Amino acid sequence: MSTRVLLIDDDTRMYELLAQYLGQNGLSVTHAADGGRGLAALEASAYDAVLLDVMMPGIDGLEVCKRIRAKSRIPVIMLTAKGDETDRVVGLEIGADDYLPKPFSPRELLARLRAVLRRSLPSSVADRLEAGGVCIDIAGREVRVEDRPVDLTGLEFDLLVALVRRAGRVIPRDALLGEAGRSDTVVGERTVDVHISHLRQKLGDVGTRLIKTVRGVGYVFAKEGP
């Protein structure tokens, strides 16, 4: 069965181009011309990933992404003509898994789609991690802190897994996305700082105590011990 992708974008010409190119590479693309139709399509059928335009009439892409994340962990890549870092931060903060500014090549989009799809698959190695009261179910992409469920965005989850896997070792800012399997996500160091700050807040006292900033270098998940 081919991978099913839902494209929510009012650009019909782009749909035709992507449907042809992605179809040649084993992905089936369904088109929804606006946010309302896209949300209805997700309710009516199952998809493996969503390509979501930000600037659309009616319900914009940011609001659509919020509504998707309220119900589902399906991988979402946001597409927009806006390419500055602030827009990337907003898209990732509301739960998008990746961000691709227009214009883009179908080849790059395919690579990013494959990357987010790989990350959404259960891991066969080290399916659970525990450290400092934080329990991570990698296969289910769920986090609990002292038995309290914590809702994280896709990027926050991957950053936490990277830090916990290398607990006690400093990870430089410029290497952290690579450790998190996000080397294909183009953001600046300030963006990483913003996501680490949000991650600390969501984890509560545990996050503040254990996710340490090493000034001028990066971050470390501190090992607790006597």
**Segment holding 144, helix H or strand E:** strand 142-145
Confidence (pTM): 0.60
Most distant CA atoms of the chain, gap in Å: 62
Residue 222, pLDDT > 70, answer yes
Alpha-helical segments (H) within 25-103: 35-44, 61-69, 85-93
Q: What is the pLDDT of residue 52?
A: 95
Which residue in 175, 177, 161, 174 sits closest to 211, CA to CA? 161
Residue 174, pLDDT > 80, answer no
User: Mean pLDDT over residues 86-115, rounded?
Assistant: 85
Give, in words, the CATH class of 128-221. Answer: mainly alpha
What is the band of 125 on the pLDDT scale with cuts at 50, 70, 90?
A: very low
CATH architecture of 3-120: 3-Layer(aba) Sandwich (3.40)
C-alpha distance across the termini of the chain, in Å: 53
> What residue ranges do the domains of the chain occupy?
3-120, 128-221
Residue 121, pLDDT > 70, answer no
